[in-house]
Amino acid sequence: MMEHPLSQFNYCPKCGSDNFHIHNEKSRKCADCHFVYYFNASAATVALILNEKRELLVCRRAKDPAKGTLDLPGGFVDMYETAEEGVRREVKEETGLEIEKSTYLFSLPNLYVYSGFQVHTLDLFFLCQVKDCSHLKAMDDVTDSFFIPLQEITIEAFGLGSIRKGLFRFLKEL
């Protein structure tokens, strides 16, 4: 049985009442002020970047969840931002690379624990072309970023479930 996404939200965020009850599988409603709060997955992006030798860009996670495991560049989409703008911004922040073109491939739902809270995301996978792979740096949320030949990729080295699933699908369809 899945935990209700708002199981830890015991008080109405509007009036502070504890008469804040589960309304349906993704919302709570306040019996005092009638405020209804819906929980939805947050949009996130994942970048698949190949260099001219057909090697894939991977990063090593600097932070939990799954600290120290391999990952692909990407992150949450900000409010008022398109997914294409989000993936471009995250790749720039994490690797220093400039995305020239991004093509949407597919999406996968993901669930992980952050700060003791179950975070639901919808990960949007993009095949990205970069201008110049030579300016690669590891910054922001990653300790390392490097290119790896496709045949040397081990899915188990990646810590997040949706990344493992997405990589499997990408390599199969390639």
Which chain residues interact with Zn ion by CB under 5 A? 12, 14-15, 17, 30, 32-33, 35
CB of 6 to Zn ion, least distance (A): 14
Cβ proximity to Zn ion: between 22 and 150 the closer is: 22
Cβ proximity to Zn ion: between 35 and 106 the closer is: 35
CB of 42 to Zn ion, least distance (A): 24
Cβ proximity to Zn ion: between 37 and 147 the closer is: 37
DSSP string, the chain: -PPPTTTT--S-TTT--S-EEEEETTEEEETTT--EEE--PEEEEEEEEB-TT-EEEEEEE-SSSSTTSEE-SEEEPPTT--HHHHHHHHHHHHH-PPEEEEEEEEEEEEEEEETTEEEEEEEEEEEEEES-GGG----TTEEEEEEEEGGG--GGGB-SHHHHHHHHHHHHH-
CB of 18 to Zn ion, least distance (A): 10
CB of 53 to Zn ion, least distance (A): 58
Of residues 90, 101, 97, the one with CA closest to residue 132: 97
CB of 31 to Zn ion, least distance (A): 8
Which amino acid is it at 152?
Answer: E
Cβ proximity to Zn ion: between 12 and 128 the closer is: 12
Cβ proximity to Zn ion: between 9 and 112 the closer is: 9
CA distances for 60 relative to 12, 51, 117, 139, angstroms: 39, 18, 23, 10
